Amino acid sequence: MSDSRRADDRGFDRGDAFSPDGAVAVAVVIVSYNSADDIRHLLPDLRREARTMPLRVIVADNSSTDGTLAMLSEHTDVLSVRTGGNLGYSGAINAAMRHVGETEAILVLNPDLRLDAGSIPRMLRRLRSDSRIGAVVPLLREEDGSVYFSLRREPTVLRAAADAVIGRFWQRRPAPLSEYVRDPREYAWSHPVDWATGAALLLSAPAAAVVGEWDERFFLYSEETDIQRRLRDAGWLVWFEPAAGATHRRGGSGASADLNALLTVNRVRYMKKHRPLVAGVFRAAVITGEQLRRSPGNARSRWALWSSRRWAALPHARRDPVPLDAFPRASIVIPAHQEAAVIGRTLEPLALLAAAGRLEIVVVCNGCTDDTAERARAYAGVRVIETEEASKTAALNLGDAHATAWPRFYLDADIVVPPAALGPVIAALDGGTALAGRPSFRLDVHGASPIVRAYYRARERMSSTSAALWGAGVYGVSRAGHARIGSFPPVTADDLYVDGLFGPEEKTFPVTEPVIVSVPRRTSALRRVLIRMRRGPAEQGVDTGSSTARELARSVRGPLSATDAAIYAAFALDARRSAREAGRHGAAGWERDDSSRGAGAAGSLVDAG
């Protein structure tokens, strides 16, 4: 018996049943966090729309405690997706997007909306009217029927400064001085816009595929600014269609001092991502505005704005503990060359999952003369392969020949990965469109010299490091992603090689518990590592010198960041020169960083094997 037929048995008309599988015109994505009452009122609106076109409805639930999932179980034609925690808006959307299936468009809805009759067909009609349109937003109204000013202009320093100084006194300012579009005439006709609040956003499936996953660094607020900016950057138009409408209660996210602070902080976070050169000035303008509006209600915002180190104390993604028998299956290949000192600490956090058969772990000891193999065999469920050839890529290929499970991860032997860092990546690679990915990582600079710390401060200000597979000492691929790799060629930097095989939309970087990566402690050790790291791109014909220089220049916001950038540039230039010299004289070797491989270190920044 089909889900649609069971929906009939529950008392729904056959014509208003949703389509859990097969091709549909629109897949509706709803994010829920204790939103049972709101969704209960929204579903009849969607069923009414389903009479005119095939719809699929997916509700991504962020571990609600109000009976949302129990209520949804009464609607057997609604796909309920457990996100595995409170992942925020972006994280939940990404979880739901893995279930949209074959569809022409994806409609992202807040649960606290009531749709006007015919709104979805009208939005879809507008989307189809011009191949350049990548997203459509409707007219939103307040509960009293008045127009909600949902349209926005791209954030700029001038607009932030004007809002800070005169925003309270002159709301209907000229466009250069206001991010908000408050002219009622702009809500009376259909036209392209910079962006709009994300309560209702219809994305074409091709546009959604091009821009890829929603950025999970935006737990709540500014995620819609980011996705619509990325659409425009990719050449798509965002279109406002007033013929489609909805009433927005604007209470679904709740309200608190922490959420207000997060809203303010994410404005700065957005500018740091998209316009890093002026982000410092923008932040100063926002701080000025919060100070001029000083009140007990924005005290938390003012506190958070003064230091980005405080942002971690604001609401962020939290994942529920995963029972051992429910952990998703995957395989891990660990190339190891003389890793007796560190292999135990790498295997320890994964040991229970390996013993339970949830993780298939293959340690490939290549050219080892120490007792790495014996130490690895001490862990139940870990398979050890030995070869006399001391080659990391050969070890990766040998591990592939013995591993059977998918997705598959490649883990440096001195990197400690908590299971919570792997789970979200496994889920993304196993059920979505992403072909490759890695968990979040954090650099451990404890015990490093001031010069080394300065180098890594500059590196962390460069956004390119957050969109690459390299850097964490671990990355994973789906079966389809591995087909693109085939056999690993004999290159120095396998992670750089693999990263170059996939486009941005094919990679996933879910926000996870971070992998802790220890950096070299001394300048001499950092220099050795950088020479080796530079040799990898040179072998593969990759030269990012110009783009790195531009990104480094954009990261400068004051004397400290300028000093850090200068130190980074000096190390980078020295590494390029030294790697070139070593190549000319045939002096290439394996520059291991031993300064970060002591008992207290979590894992070094260099590749193991």
* Domain containing residue 242: CATH number: 3.90.550.10
**Could you give the number of structural domains in the chain?**
3
Tell me if 145 is assigned to some domain.
no
In-domain check, residue 146: no
- Pure H helices in 328-368: 343-347, 351-355
Q: Which domain holds residue 376?
A: 328-584
Domain end position, chosen among 273, 290, 317 = 317
Please check whether residues 340 and 471 belong to one and the same domain.
yes
The per-residue pLDDT for 598 is 54
- By three-state DSSP, how is residue 587 classified? coil
Instruction: Indicate if 197 and 284 belong to the same structural domain.
Output: no
**Which of 296, 317, 338 corresponds to the end of one domain?**
317
The verdict on residue 602 lying in a domain is: no
Residue 560 neighbours by CB distance under 10 Å: 11
What's the pTM value of the predicted model, to 2 decimals? 0.71
Of 297, 312, 199, 231, nearest to 265 by C-alpha is 312
Identify the pLDDT of residue 443.
84
pLDDT tens track for 522-562: 998 888 888 877 766 666 666 666 777 887 887 776 787 88
Residue 157 lies in a domain: no
Count of alpha carbons within 13 angstroms of residue 68, beta-carbon side? 24
Q: For strand 515-518 and strand 441-444, is the pairing parallel, antiparallel, or unpaired?
A: parallel
pLDDT digits (tens, 9 = 90+) for 64-116: 999 999 999 999 999 999 888 899 999 999 989 988 989 999 999 999 999 99
Whether residues 275 and 372 share a domain: the answer is no
pLDDT, position 337 = 94
Predicted pLDDT at 84: 85
Beta strand spans in 348-431 (E)? 359-366, 382-387, 408-411
Same domain for 202 and 290? no
**Residue 563 and residue 415 share a domain:** yes
| Statement to judge: residues 393 and 522 lie in one domain | yes
The CA radius of gyration of the chain, in Å to the nearest whole number, is 26
The answer as to whether 196 is a domain residue is: yes
Residues 294 and 366 in one domain: no
CA distance 8 to 519: 60
Give me the pLDDT at residue 442, please: 83
> Does residue 379 lie within any of the structural domains?
yes
Query: Which one of 270, 287, 317 terminates a domain?
Result: 317
User: Do 448 and 383 share a structural domain?
Assistant: yes
Q: What's the rounded Cα separation, in Å, for the pair 61 and 49?
A: 22
Residues 364, 438, single domain; the answer is: yes
Given a contact cutoff of 8 angstroms between Cβ atoms, the answer to whether 195 and 274 are in contact is: no
Mean pLDDT in each 10-residue stretch from start to end of the chain (609 residues)?
36 70 95 94 95 95 93 93 90 90 95 96 97 96 94 95 89 91 95 95 93 88 94 93 92 74 93 85 92 87 88 87 86 95 93 94 96 95 95 96 96 91 90 86 86 88 76 93 94 89 88 84 88 69 71 76 90 83 56 53 43
What pLDDT, on the 0 to 100 scale, is given for residue 594?
59
437 in the same domain as 304 = no
pLDDT on residue 604: 46
Q: Is residue 160 part of a domain?
A: no
Dihedral sign computed on CA atoms, order 282, 266, 29, 27: positive
Gap between the Cα atoms of 227 and 230, Å rounded: 5
pLDDT for res 605: 44
206 and 290 in a single domain? The answer is no
d(C-alpha 321, C-alpha 420), whole Å: 8
Give 302-325 pLDDT, tens digit per residue: 999 988 888 989 988 888 887 888
Residue 497 inside a domain? The answer is yes
Do 402 and 526 reside in the same domain of the chain? yes
* Strand (E) or helix (H) holding 280: helix 279-292
